[in-house]
Amino acid sequence: MDKESFCKITHTKRFLNLALPGAGVIFIAIFFYLIFSKNYLFALLLFVILLFAIFFLFQDYFLKICSKIKIQSILKLLFWLTIVTAITGASFLAIPFGPLHILPFRLFLVLILLLIIMQILLNKGQLIIPTKNIRYYLLFLFIWFCYAVLTLLWVRSKTNALQHIFFILIGLLIILLNVLCLKDIKNLKRFYILWLIITICLLIMGLWEHSTGNHLPISCSYEVKRPDIRIMPTGTFHNTNDYSTFLALSIPFILSWLHYQRGLLKNILGIILLGFSSYFIIINLSRGGLLAEILEICVFLLFLTRLKINLKLILSLCLAVIVLHFLAPDFIPKTANEISISISESPTRRIELVKSGLFYLYQSFGFGVGAGNIEWHIATFSPYHTYGTLNLHNWWIEILADYGIFIFIGYLAFYFGLINNLWKAWRHASVQEKLICESILLSLIGFPLTSLSPSSIMGFEPHWLIFGFALAFLNYYRIYYPKVKTVQTI
């Protein structure tokens, strides 16, 4: 190296040694200024830019460290932690960040993305994700996300739109991670067992809430004084509707457990879980959850089981009703009366909300009012009386009103295509695979009804997990059973 080149390198290093700390201080100062002035979106963008700048400046150093890290092992651990915290993490360490919250599972998602980027760089720009068999499903989700971003051109509330776009992005990442990490039957079975364990934990928490009247701070019933409200469990969710929706999505996992697991203790455990899940859905007066459970059980008995299993489950349900009648004679008639009153009072409001959604769909010429903006339009002006309710409480009308006819049709094709292919897979699967496929299939069959209970399930992570689990199983099945005919398109 000649003297001139050496001097240039020396001067460059001195400049970087002086400039980088100064630039870092300026970046940090601007970041905190944006935080305190509540410009959260710009603060987040600045933070991401800073991370990328640091990484590319010290790329060789980071890659040297990465080469010594067992990325796959850490990735799998973070994935399982993401599953757990996606369901329970909102109750703990939720840090407000503008209209959103920094939650543990979102931090785990960021760490997973960083690990994936490291893996791509170490593999010279390659990351093998076997998505060929489900590419049309993923393509629709990507198109949906892009259309949500495009609606920023005409939405009236940018904050609501950005919130919805963020939720779709999170959902898309959850689904991709499921496909990436659940490649074989062993990991699919682990997901199934983990979901059951989480369900048991939330049922125990619901029993504690129901018996003591206490709730976690995240619950909307935390400071409520009315005794009839305090006994309604919410688990790690904000309200009873979300908790009941999770239970309605989880009941198929219990039914599959009863169907395929042998042994008296296992059957008793399944019956207890099914009994408490049904009980909590009933006392929470979740009409959508209750209808979804009835539909799931009917499909299970009529299409997925033999007569022997049907009789066992029917006898178990009859026994549970008899025991409940003797333990609490007034419970069944009282609850039936409350549900009938609730049903009779609700339709008018729900119909007016649906009519409002369709009205704004017409006003937008079928293109939708934009991501997350139907609530803003109903709050600003609604041609129908919604009794002060702004949320549509109807996932399907929400998609139609926000994103328009074309995305709605695509979503219907996405959903029914998934149901159709899972049904075909179930018919040809082994017993172990049927255990998983059956639980996913029944959960998706009950989904249209149970999705009507919450105000919105856009930010309801368990629903994205179910769809991610379904696509991961379908992807696995098409890889290992290529000769079995399943519909390759949505």
Would you state the pLDDT for residue 123? 67
Buried b (16+ CB within 10 A) or exposed e, 223-258: eeeeeeebebbbbbbbbbbbbbbbbbbbbbbbbbbb
Would you state the pLDDT for residue 98? 57
Would you state the pLDDT for residue 56? 63
Q: List pLDDT tens digits, range 301-321.
A: 888 887 666 676 677 667 766
Q: For the residues 371-399, what does the mean pLDDT come to?
A: 87
Are 76 and 181 contained in the same domain? no
Give me the count of residues in the chain.
490
Of 90, 108, 128, at which residue does a domain stop? Answer: 128
Which segments within 98-190 are labelled E, that is strand?
100-102
Q: List pLDDT tens digits, range 174-222.
A: 999 999 899 899 999 999 999 999 999 999 999 999 999 999 888 888 8
Are 27 and 77 contained in the same domain? no
Does residue 486 belong to any structural domain of this protein? no
For the purposes of burial, counting CB atoms within 10 Å of the CB of 487, is it exposed (0-12), middle (13-18) or buried (19 or more)?
Answer: exposed
CA distance 158 to 390: 17
Domain that holds residue 49: 18-57
Does residue 65 belong to any structural domain of this protein? no
Are 145 and 203 contained in the same domain? yes
Are 380 and 456 contained in the same domain? yes
Does residue 9 belong to any structural domain of this protein? no
CA distance 236 to 178: 22
Are 77 and 209 contained in the same domain? no
Q: State the pairing for strand pair 100-102/95-97.
A: antiparallel
Are 172 and 85 contained in the same domain? no
Q: How confident is the model at residue 342 (pLDDT cuts 50, 70, 90)?
A: low
Mean residue pLDDT of the chain comes to: 82
Does residue 4 belong to any structural domain of this protein? no
Would you state the pLDDT for residue 47? 64
Domain count, the chain: 3
Does residue 363 belong to any structural domain of this protein? yes
Q: List pLDDT tens digits, range 39-55.
A: 555 665 666 666 666 66
- CA 337 to chain centroid, in Å, comes to 33
CA distance 61 to 13: 16
Max mean pLDDT among 51-55, 117-121, 271-275, 309-313 falls in 271-275
Would you state the pLDDT for residue 105? 82
Would you state the pLDDT for residue 104? 79
Are 209 and 94 contained in the same domain? no
Are 167 and 84 contained in the same domain? no
pLDDT reading at 386 higher than 80 = no
Would you state the pLDDT for residue 6? 42
Does residue 7 belong to any structural domain of this protein? no
Handedness of CA 39, 44, 47, 53 (dihedral sign): negative
CA distance 249 to 316: 21
Q: List pLDDT tens digits, range 125-138.
A: 566 667 778 999 99
Are 389 and 348 contained in the same domain? yes
Task: Yes or no: say if 199 and 193 are a contact pair by the CB < 8 Å rule.
Answer: no
Q: Provide the token pair at 328.
A: 């609490």
pLDDT reading at 295 higher than 90 = yes
Q: For the residues 389-403, what does the mean pLDDT come to?
A: 91
Are 217 and 263 contained in the same domain? yes
CA distance 430 to 473: 13
Percent of the chain at pLDDT above 90?
A: 42
Q: List pLDDT tens digits, range 8-30.
A: 445 454 544 555 565 656 666 66
Are 370 and 441 contained in the same domain? yes
Q: List pLDDT tens digits, range 457-487.
A: 998 999 999 999 999 999 999 988 775 555 4
Q: List pLDDT tens digits, range 217-233.
A: 888 888 888 888 889 99
Does residue 98 belong to any structural domain of this protein? yes
CB within 8 A of 433, min separation 6: which ones? 185, 425, 477
Q: What angle do CA 79, 471, 418 make, to 5 degrees?
A: 155
Does residue 453 belong to any structural domain of this protein? yes
Would you state the pLDDT for residue 323? 67
Using alpha carbons, list the distances in angstroms from residue 396 to 87, 167, 393: 22, 16, 9
Q: What angle do CA 27, 28, 32 make, to 5 degrees?
A: 120
pLDDT reading at 85 higher than 80 = yes
Would you state the pLDDT for residue 39? 59
Task: Yes or no: say if 47 and 35 are a contact pair by the CB < 8 Å rule.
Answer: no
CA distance 242 to 452: 10
pLDDT reading at 402 higher than 80 = yes
Nearest to residue 43, comparing CAs of 30, 25, 24, 26? Answer: 30
Are 76 and 210 contained in the same domain? no
Of 57, 81, 107, at which residue does a domain stop? Answer: 57
